[in-house]
Amino acid sequence: MSKLGAGIAITGIGSAAPKAILSNDHLSQMVETSDEWISTRTGMKNRHIASSTESLSQISARAAQQALSMAGITAADLDLIILATSTPDDLFGSACQVQSLIGATKAVAFDLTAACSGFIFALITASQFIRTGVHQNVLVIGADILSHWVDWSDRNTCVLFGDGAGAIVCQGIEQGDRLLAFEMYSDGSQNNRLNLPYIGESKPLVEDIEASVGTYRPIVMNGREVYRFAVAKVPEVIEKAMFRANITSEQIDWLLLHQANRRIIDAVAQRLKIPREKVLSNIAEYGNTSAASIPLALDEAVRQGRVQPGDIIAASGFGAGLTWGSAIFKWG
Ligand code: ACO
């Protein structure tokens, strides 16, 4: 157990995505769309799609193993696993299955649902357990397989989403704290902007008592409204976190946003006066992978050697709920 008031460091990262790649040209064979429309409106070219034999738990475990190996610890050293996902293999949660797949016998594992803000919310949750000295080694995973829940005949949504997983290892440290600041928000009054709702049918059980039996229905989104919300709230939440961290945007080495739309990313960077070369984005290759998008892009940048130890990263997630949040941290 770490000491009360210890700081937090992110010491390892990993990611995994399904093998199959669905391109814009593939999509234009399925619905009335084009590579030109999708690329100019979203910045997306490809997305990875999970087959019936690739589960969320499996890709999460792959990402987790890479993160553990970079951190130089084993699964048996983990105290806590938080899996941010909206698309578990099992509605009761998938974190325990990941725990079993990687052999984290000492850890406690649970799921956290906050859609595309899930990874940021999970990182912040993990930091609370570390700062209070309750846990030392925490695995945070952001993973989603939204392709399970897309209406593949709806061009408004089916072009946007892809599947993937990203994981980080957070550890307690005696000196300093690499999580410089964070902010989290939600606004349930705008809940109907983006949903994956349960729809049930009445099933009479006995006289006067009926149950509702059904399943979840494909994603429905008011794209324009979510776009407007993101462009207004994301710069604000990052500015608030920068204020708390007592830093200016010139001190930010990398802007790392949830990869929902390249135009949203560009608009936020412009508003914060962060130049394009400091923006991390792999939306062209993966599309919107929901809770996975931030660690997936960070993992790529770390492994390419773009992000270096000590770099300051301003990350922000936003999405269904509506939820949004930001975390400013030093890598490594
Ligand atoms: N191909 C061709 N035309 C299309 C397509 C498509 N794939 N999709 C929509 N269109 C059409 C529409 O029907 C519309 O036609 P109309 O004018 O004749 O009605 C036209 O294109 C323009 O539609 P808009 O919705 O205004 O397009 P917009 O420029 O807003 O782009 C988009 C749509 C990409 C969805 C954008 O609004 C967006 O990215 N919104 C934010 C999404 C987001 O950030 N989600 C985040 C969270 S996800 C989560 O939490 C799970």
∠234-236-241 over CA atoms, to 5°? 95
User: What three-state secondary structure class fits 9?
Assistant: strand
* Fold of the CATH domain 7-177: Peroxisomal Thiolase; Chain A, domain 1 (3.40.47)
Closest approach atom of ligand 1 to CA 157: 35
Model pLDDT for residues 38-96, shown as the tens digit of each residue: 999 999 999 999 999 999 999 999 999 999 999 999 999 999 999 999 999 999 999 99
Ligand 1 within 6 A of 289 CB?
no
Q: Rounded to the nearest 5 degrees, what angle is found at the Cα of 198, between the Cα atoms of 210 and 119?
A: 140
Which residue spans within 46-197 are E strands per DSSP?
46-49, 80-84, 108-112, 137-145, 163-173, 179-186, 194-195
Mutate to test the pocket of ligand 1, among 113, 151, 226, 231 (most ligand atoms within 8 A of CB): 226
List the end-to-end C-alpha distance of the chain, in Å, as a whole number: 21
- 151: exposed, middle or buried (Cβ count in 10 Å: 0-12, 13-18, 19+): middle
Q: How many CA atoms lie within 13 A of 5 on its CB side?
A: 1
Residue 3: per-residue pLDDT? 55
- Looking up tokens 């009761």 gives 92
Supply the mean pLDDT for the chain.
97
260 lines ligand 1 (CB under 6 A): yes
pLDDT in tens, 184-225: 999 999 999 999 999 999 999 999 999 999 999 999 999 999
The answer, yes or no, to whether any atom of ligand 1 lies below 6 A from the CB of 196, is: no
Of the candidates 168, 120, 186, which has an alpha carbon nearest to the alpha carbon of residue 321? 186
Eight-state DSSP code of residue 170: E
| Domain parsing of the chain, residue ranges | 7-177, 180-188+220-330
Residues annotated as catalytic are 116, 258, 288
Distances (CA, A) of 93 to 56, 58, 89, 152, 246: 11, 14, 7, 25, 38
Closest residue to atom 32 of ligand 1, CA basis = 223
Say yes or no: CB of residue 216 within 6 Å of ligand 1.
Answer: no
Asked whether 39 lines ligand 1 (CB < 6 A), one says no
Per-residue pLDDT tens digits for 103-142 = 999 999 999 999 999 999 999 999 999 999 999 999 999 9
Identical topology for domains 7-177 and 180-188+220-330: yes
Let me know: does 328 contact 181? Beta carbons within 8 Å.
yes
Q: Residues 86, 291: contact at Cβ < 8 Å?
A: yes
pTM: 0.96
Ligand 1: residue of 216, 227, 231, 234 to mutate (most ligand atoms within 8 A of CB) is 227
User: Would you say residue 2 has pLDDT above 50?
Assistant: no
Determine the atom of ligand 1 nearest the C-alpha atom of 158: 7
Decide if pLDDT at 1 tops 60: no
Instruction: Please tell me if the CB atom of residue 42 comes closer than 6 angstroms to any atom of ligand 1.
Output: yes
The CATH number assigned to the domain with range 180-188+220-330 reads: 3.40.47.10
- Least confident range of 173-177, 206-210, 245-249, 285-289: 173-177
